Amino acid sequence: MSILKKALTSVAVAAMFTASAAQAEDTRIALVVKALGIGFFEAAAKGAEEAAAELGDVEIIYTGPTDTTAEGQIEVINALIAQQVDAIAVSSNDTDALVPVLKKAMQRGITVISWDSGVAPEGRELHLNPSSNPLIGNMIVKLAADHLPDGGDVAVLSATTTSTNQNIWIEEMNKVLPNYEGINVVGTVYGDDLADKSYREANGLMQTYPDLKAIIAPTSVGIVAAAQAVADAGKIGEVNVTGLGLPSEMAGAIESGASKSFAIWNPIDLGYSATMLAYNLATDKAEAAPNAEIPMGRMGTLTLDENNEGAMADPFVYDASNIADFKDIF
């Protein structure tokens, strides 16, 4: 073989090797959380790894700041831009503060989505809500009604009077109340997301309404305090505490019977879904646009609204049948 032919052959082999190596490269998806060391987000990372294993050509970079600040996340995101990752999926510490750095990422060709806690529309391609306000509102009253076949008096223990999400969820709950025959909401009180005040307010509800059958607390602080108040009042079996809470904090209440069931989004499903969405956008298998339906693997599809936001699913229900599986996770 001539020197020229040998050289051409070497170039061709090198080109083939480069092409096959590029083909074999994984899609690198960065899961950026509010802060490291939080059980909820570590569970989300497990879901992300599940999606990566299912897809087969994905590398997950799990990262975040050491504290829940926008500045910390901006630093992390700048480092990811420098690494030229393929996608960033962020649960943000600030709706607006992350927009400039995420815009920079998108200008560099990086797919950007938010999940759990969103960023403003100009800073991402889509946002994945864990659930939707109507789904949450329906779930919190359904959890009470499920254990009251003959109806009964229920009360709400919320966070603060100005808590936007709490107020919307209660409003959505009231909209669907007619669907739950015999369920009568007798009062709403506010514990300001303080354990001691929530405890006192729960006690006040039981004293004011002696026929009370359930306390609905759509706040993780309030639900734990209410369950403790019911236990201390000797009313386990008479008053059921339900709403939104964390398995690690509510395991004792489920075991004692102070709470028959409660709900919160499943972080494993959330991390899984965010990874699937980021992958499908980064690999051009889908495009984020109003009314688009984007696959989320085993979680079905995400339907986007006019703001490119969508809801993953109903809040996940925890009870005696599954609390042991989740109480050590978050």
179: CB partners within 8 A, 6+ apart: 138
* Largest Cα span, the chain: 99
CA 173 to chain centre: 20
DSSP 120: -
DSSP string, 164-200: HHHHHHHHHHHHHGGGSTTEEEEEEEE-TT-HHHHHH
Neighbours of 128 (CB within 10 A): 27
Per DSSP, the three-state class of 12 is: helix
pLDDT of residue 162: 85
pLDDT of residue 164: 80
Closest residue by Cα to residue 310 from 324, 326, 299, 298 = 299
Per DSSP, the three-state class of 317 is: strand
- CB of 279 within 8 A of CB of 51? yes
Per-residue pLDDT of the chain (330 residues), as tens digits, is: 444 344 434 444 444 433 334 345 899 999 999 999 988 899 999 999 999 999 999 999 999 999 989 999 999 999 999 999 999 999 999 999 999 999 999 999 999 999 999 999 999 999 999 999 999 999 999 999 999 999 999 999 999 888 888 899 999 999 999 999 999 999 999 999 899 999 999 999 999 999 999 999 999 999 999 999 999 999 999 999 999 999 999 999 999 999 999 999 999 999 999 999 999 999 999 999 999 999 999 999 999 999 999 999 999 999 999 999 999 888
Q: Is 308 left (phi over 0), alpha (psi -120 to 50) or beta?
A: left
Neighbours of 22 (CB within 10 A): 8
pLDDT of residue 253: 98
Distance from C-alpha of 328 to C-alpha of 247, rounded to nearest angstrom: 8
Type of residue at 259: S
DSSP H or E run through 80: helix 70-83
Neighbours of 175 (CB within 10 A): 13
pLDDT of residue 180: 97
Q: Which CATH number fits domain 27-130+267-313: 3.20.20.70, 3.40.50.2300, 3.40.1830.10, 3.30.390.10?
A: 3.40.50.2300
What's the chain's Rg over C-alpha atoms? 24
The sign of the torsion formed by the CA atoms of 278, 282, 288, 292 equals: negative
Closest residue by Cα to residue 129 from 102, 160, 169 = 169
87: CB partners within 8 A, 6+ apart: 27, 28, 29, 30, 110, 111, 112, 113, 278, 279, 281, 282
Q: Where in the chain is the domain with CATH 3.40.50.2300?
A: 27-130+267-313, 133-264
The fold for domain 133-264 equals Rossmann fold (3.40.50)
Closest residue by Cα to residue 301 from 264, 276, 268 = 276
Distance from C-alpha of 69 to C-alpha of 66, rounded to nearest angstrom: 9
* Token pair listed for 114: 């938010």
pLDDT of residue 184: 98
Residue 316 Cα distances to 185, 218, 240, angstroms = 23, 14, 18
* Token pair listed for 265: 């989004």
pLDDT of residue 19: 38
pLDDT of residue 17: 37
